Amino acid sequence: MSLHSEILEQPACLDRLLSSQRKNVEQIAAAIRARDIRYVFLAARGTSDNAGRYANYLWGAMNGLPLALATPSLFTYYGQPPRLKNALVVCVSQSGQSPDIVSVLQEGKRQGNLTLAITNAPDSPLAQSADFVLDVQAGPELSVAATKTYTNELLAIAMLSVALAGDAARWDKLAQVAGWAGEALKQDESIGRLAQRYRYMQQCVVLGRGYNYATAFEWALKLKELTYVEAEPYSSADFQHGPVAMVGRGFPVMAVVPAGKVFDSMMALLGHLKSNLLAELVVISNSAAALSLAESPIPIPAGVPEWLSPLVSIVPAQLFAYHLTRTKGYDENRPRTISKVTETR
């Protein structure tokens, strides 16, 4: 099994999660509604932390749940965890092995809070410590760079949001995600050709906003760990507060710009980067107007709603990182200095 094959598996993995875990998710949602939950306290690392960024927007916008991202060092090295009251403590981890993430969940439970593990390892220490486990059902992921576990974590987060909202129409939208991901994968060869343009790229920025703030971070992470490019992720709003000064003629800017609430603000920034600063744009979007600004346009299906766009937009971003890795002559299955499971404390 290779990184490329695992990227291509994603539609089947998404279908499996949706069909196998809906009942479990609805039971978890019922348990949450039965408690006086005031906010979510979420701990994760790496790719799973980027999934947490998606939860921050989705659960806030759709479910009215504020989300606080945990600082695990307070639980381990400092031994001074914050007081958690009326929290839903959620830990997201592909392997469920990292001691610092496990410690957050255990402390949350000790303080009397409801705990949930979202993981691809239902027999892991994290899962064994939790009140509820949401198995993301991605199957074995052997490549060091996470792909299918990330998209399935996003779908698990979206399923819980829909179950909490009790909105049948949104379940219908979730059922279309695997098909949209499959459509995005059809660009495999064209993205391979496009990536050759960036063979000598050493640095870039990756922009997103709203739900796709998570996508910017995950795309940048894939570029860093596979291609060794200095890829810096930003909210398009934060980017204008200083970092935009680094952009000059030909500077590569990757952007995720689906139709939705933040589209107009993203377009205004991209127009400035293109016309005034002469940046080199790589754009993932389902808008013809956004794609027309790019030297390297990457379309996604038109019908994807903004709240689900991170599950689809990351797929061509993964392909871009994969093909760029190959173009640069690196081994995508053995990135240097990192391993599949990282056990931080």
Domain with residue 262: its CATH number is 3.40.50.10490
pLDDT of 323 > 80? The answer is yes
| Residue at which a domain ends, from 175, 207, 238 | 175
For residues 165-180, one letter each, b for 16 or more C-beta atoms within 10 angstroms of the residue's C-beta and e for the rest, the string is eeeeebeebbeebbeb
Contact 184, 299 (CB under 8 A): no
Considering only residues 342 and 332, tell me which one the structure prediction assigns the higher pLDDT.
Answer: 332
pLDDT at 23 over 70: yes
What per-residue confidence (pLDDT) applies to 330?
96
Q: In the predicted model, what is the mean pLDDT of residues 148-172?
A: 97
In a domain, 235, yes or no: yes
- Mean pLDDT for 177-190 is 98
pLDDT(255) > 90: yes
Instruction: Name residue 256's beta-bridge partners.
Output: 284
pLDDT given at position 209: 98
Q: What share of the chain is helix, strand, coil (3-state, %, to 5)?
A: 50, 15, 35
Strand partners, 133: 117
Q: What is the average pLDDT across 7-23?
A: 98
Are 313 and 262 within one domain?
yes
Please give the Cα distance from 301 to 284 (Å, whole number).
10
Domain contains 334: no
Looking at residue 45, its pLDDT comes to 94
For residue 49, tell me if it sits in a domain. yes
Q: Is residue 59 part of a domain?
A: yes
134 with 60, same domain? yes
Q: Which residue range forms the structural domain that includes residue 153?
A: 3-175
- Asked whether residue 339 is domain-assigned, the answer is no
Question: Which domain-ending residue is among 132, 147, 175?
Answer: 175
From edge to edge, which strands make up the β-sheet containing 280-285?
230-235, 203-208, 252-256, 280-285, 296-299
Can you give the length of the chain in residues?
345
Check whether residue 204 and residue 127 sit in a common domain: no
Is the pTM value of this prediction over 0.95? yes
41-84 per-position pLDDT tens digit: 999 999 999 999 999 999 999 999 999 999 999 999 999 999 99
Q: Indicate whether 65 and 148 sit together in one domain.
A: yes
Confidence at 338, pLDDT banded by 50, 70, 90: confident
- Give the total number of structural domains in the chain: 2
